[in-house]
Amino acid sequence: MTKKLLLALSAVLVIGLMGCSTPAENTPSGNEGTGTETGDLTLEQVNHFLNDSSGLGAGGIANVVQVIPHAHIDGPKNETPFYAFVNFKYTARDYIKYQVTYLSCTCRSADVNFWQTAYMEMSLPASGNIEDAVLRNISFDTEPSGHYLVGFWGDSDPTPAGVSYETFKTEFLPFFEGKNAAYLEALSTMWDIEASDYTDGEGRSDLTVDTFSGSSVSANNIIRIINAVMDYHATDEFFQ
């Protein structure tokens, strides 16, 4: 038992330090949220430990948490197997609220290699089919009521290419809202978005996704983390 505790705590510590280190080669790169082996541990064991050994999880003082895998992508499009931390999950009547903390920009020095937190709402479709699940909301600041500050933008503002967080907030993020999992899972990077799709909708006719071509690390990892959380969303008992 002591050995298992030490292994689990070591895994959590490693995850917390990943912003300043290189992930091990056996870190998972797929979309599976459980059962991925990391030495003698699996993500399922780590997540079980986090939710059952303290005040986290069902019956605790905080909501269920989850370590989830995602494929980080940098400017030259190199992919690195990585982890994100879902530090809040709450099931409402027909959707689930999530907070997820992840690392996006890695071109900065270690002393400013900050992670960021996104808030998302994903629907629970009447069909019970995950492909019909819709991203209702995504934010790096307040939730829809505007009452609670639930997100944090940790990338440069503006980016080295001069794109501000406000531009991401008003132009890029709204594009994904209302899109279902079937559409979102077909996107790997911003370059997978058709120009006609990006300009569709009220007030978007003059927008171009190329605005973010010089800020692709932020843009592409937004897409990656949306899909990582959607993969986790698919594991909810509603879809089983």
Tell me what pLDDT residue 218 has.
98
**Among 21-30, 38-47, 68-77, the range of highest mean pLDDT:** 68-77
Q: CA-CA distance, 234 to 105, in Å (whole number)? A: 27
Rg (CA), the chain: 18
Task: Give the tens place of pLDDT for each residue, 127-185.
Answer: 999 999 999 999 999 999 999 999 999 999 999 999 999 999 999 999 999 999 999 99
Tell me what pLDDT residue 68 has.
99
In this prediction, residue 36 has a pLDDT band, given cuts at 50, 70 and 90, of low
Least confident of 21-25, 80-84, 137-141: 21-25
User: What does the mean pLDDT of the chain come to?
Assistant: 88
Stronger pLDDT, 9 or 154, i.e. the higher one: 154
Q: What is the mean pLDDT of residues 18-38?
A: 43
37 - beta bridge partners?
42
Percentage of the chain beyond pLDDT 70 is 84
The answer to whether residue 27 scores a pLDDT higher than 80 is no
Stronger pLDDT, 160 or 31, i.e. the higher one: 160
Tell me what pLDDT residue 58 has.
81
The answer to whether residue 9 scores a pLDDT higher than 90 is no
Q: What separation in angstroms does the CA of 37 have from each of 14, 44, 192?
A: 15, 9, 31
Tell me what pLDDT residue 1 has.
44
Find the largest Cα–Cα distance for the chain.
60
Q: CA-CA distance, 69 to 208, in Å (whole number)? A: 30
In degrees and rounded to multiples of 5, residue 136 shows phi and psi of -75, -35
29: tokens are 């790169």
